[in-house]
């Protein structure tokens, strides 16, 4: 009868109306999931493979950055604070500047501003090598010096002419305390002629000299 057909149609309409919100919600969920989905899958959970890879990459970057910050600048030599007399003596000759740890530290600080600190580090490494007597230690230190300051692949390579490089390469066949003597002298001369005059006119030297002069007057 007509009445039963109307009731059946009404039930279907009500059923459709009840299902629509659920379907819409499902579609919304799918839409949200799609917007947050990663490149490999439709899931958005924390165990998703591409999110895991991304997190690992970010962690590696953070760790590398932290390690670089931790490396910092090599420590300077331990030395007492220089006296006014010592600082005045530095102006008399480069030899007097290089004789004292305080002088070398001040000069290193200046070289760092000119991005040439490797010259002083190389010279100091050669001085340290000269103090060694153990053959195996000498060979290891010579190898490290070569890799750090002579190799063209090193970011700390010092500037040497071809003649000196040939001497070093021959000496490295049987390293000794004097393997780098010619190179050390060349770098010492370079610092003396090129960097030392600028150091004497630098704010680093003048500020130190003024500070010690003021303290001397106050005393």
Q: How far apart are CA 119 and CA 176, in angstroms?
A: 21
How high is the pLDDT of residue 8?
57
List Cβ neighbours of 199 (8 Å cut-off, separation of 6 or more): 97, 106, 107, 110, 205
Question: CA of 154: how far to CAs of 16, 143, 158, 163, 172, in Å?
Answer: 75, 13, 9, 19, 17
Tell me what percent of the residues of the chain surpass a pLDDT of 90.
61
* Averaged pLDDT of the chain: 79
DSSP 8-state class, residue 40: S
pLDDT at 74 over 70: no
Tell me: the pLDDT tens digits for 111-133? Answer: 999 999 999 999 999 999 999 99
Domain boundaries, the chain: 84-216
**119 and 183 Cβ atoms separated by less than 8 Å:** no
Segment 121-149 shows an average pLDDT of 97
What b/e sequence results for 206-215 when a residue is b if at least 16 CB atoms lie within 10 Å of its CB, and e otherwise? eebbeebeee
Reported CATH class of domain 84-216: mainly alpha
**120 and 111 Cβ atoms separated by less than 8 Å:** yes
- Token pair, residue 206, equals 């003048």
pLDDT at 20 over 50: no
Tell me: the pLDDT tens digits for 158-216? Answer: 999 999 999 999 999 999 999 999 999 999 999 999 999 999 999 999 999 999 999 98
Q: How far apart are CA 13 and CA 68, in angstroms?
A: 69
How high is the pLDDT of residue 2?
45
Q: How far apart are CA 168 and CA 181, in angstroms?
A: 9
How high is the pLDDT of residue 31?
47
How high is the pLDDT of residue 77?
79
Q: pTM for this structure? A: 0.65
């Amino acid at each position: 009868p007509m009445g039963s057909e109307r009731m059946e149609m009404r039930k279907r309409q009500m059923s459709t109306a009840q299902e629509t919100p659920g379907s819409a919600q499902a579609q919304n969920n799918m839409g949200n999931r799609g917007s947050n989905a990663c490149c490999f899958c439709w899931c958005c959970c924390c165990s998703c493979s591409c999110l895991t890879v991304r997190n690992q990459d970010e962690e590696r970057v953070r760790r590398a950055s932290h390690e670089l910050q931790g490396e910092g600048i090599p420590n300077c030599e331990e030395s007492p604070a220089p006296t006014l007399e010592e600082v005045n003596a530095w102006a008399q000759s480069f030899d007097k500047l290089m004789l004292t740890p305080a002088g070398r530290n001040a000069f290193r600080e200046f070289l760092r501003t000119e991005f040439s600190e490797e010259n002083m580090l190389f010279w100091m490494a050669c001085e340290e090598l000269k103090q060694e007597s153990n053959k195996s230690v000498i060979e290891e230190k010579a190898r490290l010096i070569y890799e750090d300051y002579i190799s063209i692949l090193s970011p700390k390579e010092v500037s040497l002419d071809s003649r000196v490089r040939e001497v070093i390469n021959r000496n490295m066949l049987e390293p000794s305390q004097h393997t780098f003597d010619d190179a050390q002298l060349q770098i010492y001369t370079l610092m003396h002629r090129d960097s030392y005059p600028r150091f004497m006119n630098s704010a680093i030297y003048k500020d130190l000299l003024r500070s010690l002069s003021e303290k001397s007057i106050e005393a």
